[in-house]
């Protein structure tokens, strides 16, 4: 797991790094989150990690890469420190093998050995990545336990959706990327959207997702993978039907923000309807959507009550 330096040992580490030839740059505090500090070395390692997740980041300026790294590392520290209030993270027995497998497959690696070898080229170990994924898995479980009784599923609506689609012999699948954005109080919708579109035209959709998206998918360039059309809401389904591969939709309103979808690829597959299985999948999609919203709301509350200083 990435080590964030405690303020009480910072002076000792200064001496330690001064006697190493790791870099010509001196160690310095860049962010302080409550009593925990993040140094320039932490941010540089995070930048390398993000380049593993989204190789297109290398096309951005160092300044933008550092900004993205600061944002993602700060978010992780806030989540980790929140979880530490409720769990003993070191002793939590969390099985993440399946998550790791899905993780490296989605990044285009064939197996764990190939992924681990690639990580080493960037100065990362598989164990360190597993610790980062463990935080995300535990955070998601924490949010589920906290909000599961507030999830509302309209079963009749989902059942009718399946019935309406029963006569179609083929199902459409879209490989999608997303940008979920909010409109800040000191800005407006038109200005925010213009900035995002300008960014997409200049640095691409994936890099813009890193910069603007508030979704957890931002760190991997907004990639969300293959999604069945039937799993999308009516508004999102209608939006993706109007564009071609390589294009992106106009923003669609969400509960507390907006989403832009890009089609990376699409395909049709012969469909075999298993009503119960389809219903389970739609319920899971709806649960995930609501939990993502709860996660964002809760994280924002925690962040407001967190003392963050940048240097």
For 124-138, what is each residue's pLDDT tens digit?
Answer: 999 999 999 999 999
Task: Enter the tokens of residue 103.
Answer: 């993780």
What is the pLDDT, as a whole number, of residue 9? 43
What is the pLDDT, as a whole number, of residue 65? 95
- Rounded CA separation 197/72 (Å): 22
User: Is the predicted pLDDT of residue 236 greater than 60, yes or no?
Assistant: yes
What's the mean pLDDT in 47-70? 93
Residues linked to residue 223 through DSSP beta bridges, in sequence order: 177
User: Is the predicted pLDDT of residue 5 greater than 70, yes or no?
Assistant: no
User: Is the predicted pLDDT of residue 180 greater than 90, yes or no?
Assistant: yes
pTM: 0.82
Count of Cβ atoms closer than 10 Å to residue 280 Cβ: 12
What is the pLDDT, as a whole number, of residue 24? 55
What is the pLDDT, as a whole number, of residue 71? 94
- Rounded CA separation 96/90 (Å): 14
Q: Is 186 helix (H, G, I), strand (E, B) or coil?
A: coil
Q: At what angle do helices 126-147 and 112-121 cross, to 10 degrees?
A: 110
User: Is the predicted pLDDT of residue 166 greater than 90, yes or no?
Assistant: no
Q: If we measure between CA atoms, which residue out of 231, 229, 233, 246 comes closest to residue 285?
A: 231
What is the pLDDT, as a whole number, of residue 184? 81
């Amino acid at each position: 797991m990435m080590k964030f330096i405690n303020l009480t040992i910072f002076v000792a580490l200064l001496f330690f790094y001064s006697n190493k030839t790791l870099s010509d740059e001196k160690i310095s505090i860049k962010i302080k989150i409550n009593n925990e500090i993040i140094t320039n070395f932490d941010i540089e390692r995070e930048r390398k990690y993000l380049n593993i997740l989204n190789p297109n980041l290398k096309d951005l300026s160092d300044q933008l890469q550092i900004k993205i790294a600061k944002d993602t590392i700060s978010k992780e520290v806030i989540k980790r420190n929140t979880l530490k209030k409720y769990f003993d993270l070191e002793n939590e027995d969390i099985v993440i093998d399946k998550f790791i497998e899905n993780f490296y497959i989605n990044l285009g690696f064939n197996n764990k050995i190939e992924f681990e070898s690639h990580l080493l080229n960037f100065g990362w170990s598989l164990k360190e990545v597993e610790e980062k994924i463990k935080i995300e898995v535990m955070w998601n479980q924490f949010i589920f336990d906290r909000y599961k009784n507030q999830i509302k599923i309209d079963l009749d609506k989902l059942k009718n959706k399946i019935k309406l689609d029963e006569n179609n012999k083929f199902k459409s699948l879209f490989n999608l990327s997303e940008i979920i954005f909010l409109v800040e109080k000191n800005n407006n919708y038109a200005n925010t959207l213009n900035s995002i579109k300008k960014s997409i035209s200049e640095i691409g959709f994936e890099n813009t997702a890193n910069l603007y998206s508030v979704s957890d998918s931002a760190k991997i360039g907004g990639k969300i993978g293959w999604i069945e059309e039937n799993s999308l809401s009516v508004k999102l389904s209608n939006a993706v039907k109007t564009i071609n591969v390589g294009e992106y939709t106009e923003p669609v309103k969400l509960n507390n923000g907006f989403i832009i979808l890009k089609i990376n690829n699409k395909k049709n597959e012969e469909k075999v309807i298993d009503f119960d299985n389809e219903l389970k999948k739609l319920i899971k999609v709806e649960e995930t959507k609501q939990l993502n919203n709860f996660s964002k709301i809760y994280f924002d509350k925690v962040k407001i009550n967190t003392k963050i200083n940048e240097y």
